[in-house]
Structure 1
Amino acid sequence: MQTKNNLFQKYYPFWNNLSESEKEQFKTYSGTKTFKKGENINRTDECAGFVLIKSGQIRIYIVSEEGREVTLYRLSEGNICIFTAQCVLDSISFDVIVEAEQDTELMILSPGRFHAVSEKNIFVKCFGYELATKRLSDAMWTLQQVLFMRADKRLALLLCEEMRKSRCDEIKLTHEQIAKYMGSAREVVSRLLKYFSDEEIVKLSRGTVKIIDREKLMEIAG
């Protein structure tokens, strides 16, 4: 079992640039919390804290006025979610919902403590802004896909990415989940998957999409 010190040393690149007092503050004001699959980690009006994922996976998404969800990105073990602590980053406001996609264990640092240390330590402050910039870039790429990219290409890109992450040709996702990740309607996803199936690119079964022609899929993904 990893101690707090080991976790921070492994995942916080600024750790060796902290004073002993600052390290103690991080340890003292951090705590482990677990969330069940489907549970909200924060809402748009909350500031949960600076989150390190110990195990599991989270989804960061926005919801349109019509109730459509658009998944901006997902994070798994060892990643840090900065937008659960957006209240500590001056001039950055990006309202999102963060949800546990699996049973998830998080190490959460109090937002006030992160802010206090970052105000005095340039390495922590720079890390926070660099991470926020990266996540905003990920979010903008997703929104660009939703707004300007053909749905079949977005689906192909998603399936290629899931295949890469799982290192497996069988992707365990429902049509509803894929629709949420794409920011599309379930009916559109089902129609596209049927087309991919008819073209013998994928084979469909309940809760599973099996890739049977990688070359064709990658060609559509571009």
Structure 2
Amino acid sequence: MEKGRREDVLEAYPCFLAIPPEDWAQAEMLSLPPSTLHPIREGHRFQHALFVVEGRIRIYRTTAEGREITLYRVGRGQCCVLMMASILGDVPYEASVAIEQEVNVLLLPVPVFTNWMAAHVSLRRFIYQQFTDRMLKVTQLLESVSFQPMPVRIAAYLLHAAASGDSNAIRITHEQLAIDLGTAREVVSRTLKKMAREGALSLSRGTITIVNPGYLQEICQPQ
């Protein structure tokens, strides 16, 4: 791998700093646009470990009814723990991948990656921390799906999206919101329209604007 590209990787993933330059010969970089269809599907067996250097991907499962539910997203400096479980456990991948923003990914042949894992504690520590963080978030997602009413889940999602994007205008369709929440679009649309009638939201094509954050915050309060 060229020195400039290796430096980009090391900036995003300091856990690779201990890898000597001569060990990077089999590493590659790959760019993929959002228009890439089904880059990785459930049942895939990895020949390479992937690390996102730029951009963002969405990890999701598909139900028996064909409905998608978003598990989490992976951006710069992160890794997909289900991919790691597939590689380290030598089992098929249990999710699918969608590209949300054009990505540059580091590709490491699986034998190279597993050798690096065995030899470098900084890489092992990074992977284990990613497992801890992701499993906590997936557990929270499952608890939300199982126990929280839909208005609470939608309100919490919109408040988080507004805080993350530093704007009360959230560019998302009802369909995309339903996929992220693992429910039907009709359920999301019905709930959003009720919130709009009560003055909490303004709905337009592809955008949901929070008009009354206090209304949403009140919904999220434990009863």
Global fold match (TM > 0.5)? yes
Partners of 1:88 and 1:114 within 8 A in 2: no
Question: Given the two structures, how large is their TM-score scaled by the length of structure 2?
Answer: 0.86
State the Cα distance separating 1:37 from its structure 2 match. Answer: 3.4
Match of 2:218 in 1: 219
Partners of 2:32 and 2:103 within 8 A in 1: yes
Q: d(CA) in 2 for partners of 1:145 and 1:54?
A: 30
Partners of 2:174 and 2:185 within 8 A in 1: yes
- List runs of 5+ in structure 1 lacking aligned partners: none
Match of 2:31 in 1: 33
Q: d(CA) in 2 for partners of 1:93 and 1:216?
A: 44
Q: d(CA) in 2 for partners of 1:55 and 1:68?
A: 28
State the Cα distance separating 1:63 from its structure 2 match. Answer: 1.4
Q: Which amino acid aligns with 1:176?
A: E
SS at match of 2:105: strand
Q: d(CA) in 2 for partners of 1:161 and 1:142?
A: 14
Question: Aligned Cα RMSD in Å?
Answer: 2.3
Q: d(CA) in 2 for partners of 1:186 and 1:4?
A: 42
Q: Which amino acid aligns with 1:135?
A: R
Residue by residue, what CA displacement relative to the aligned partner does 1:59-85 show, whole Å, maximum 9, x if unpaired?
111112222211111233443334334
Q: Pairwise mapping of residues 86-165 of structure 1 onto structure 2 (< 5 A)?
A: 86-90=85-89, 95-165=94-164
SS at match of 1:79: coil
Q: Pairwise mapping of residues 42-61 of structure 1 onto structure 2 (< 5 A)?
A: 42-46=40-44, 47=46, 49-61=48-60
Match of 1:10 in 2: 11
Question: Given the two structures, how large is their TM-score scaled by the length of structure 1?
Answer: 0.87
Partners of 1:170 and 1:208 within 8 A in 2: yes
Q: d(CA) in 2 for partners of 1:75 and 1:107?
A: 13
Q: d(CA) in 2 for partners of 1:120 and 1:64?
A: 39
State the Cα distance separating 1:87 from its structure 2 match. Answer: 2.8
Matched, 1:170 2:164: no
Match of 1:24 in 2: 22
Partners of 1:84 and 1:98 within 8 A in 2: no
Partners of 1:89 and 1:129 within 8 A in 2: no
Q: d(CA) in 2 for partners of 1:139 and 1:37?
A: 27
Q: d(CA) in 1 for partners of 2:219 and 2:140?
A: 18
Partners of 1:55 and 1:76 within 8 A in 2: yes
Change (3 A) 1:171 1:121: same
Partners of 2:68 and 2:182 within 8 A in 1: yes
Q: d(CA) in 1 for partners of 2:24 and 2:37?
A: 26
Partners of 2:28 and 2:107 within 8 A in 1: yes
SS at match of 1:168: coil
Change (3 A) 1:122 1:146: same
Q: d(CA) in 2 for partners of 1:15 and 1:4?
A: 13
- Identical-residue share of aligned pairs (%): 28
State the Cα distance separating 1:176 from its structure 2 match. Answer: 0.3
State the Cα distance separating 1:111 from its structure 2 match. Answer: 2.6
- List runs of 5+ in structure 2 lacking aligned partners: none
Residue by residue, what CA displacement relative to the aligned partner does 1:119-167 show, whole Å, maximum 9, x if unpaired?
2223222322221232222222111111111111100111111112211
Aligned residues: 218
State the Cα distance separating 1:205 from its structure 2 match. Answer: 0.5
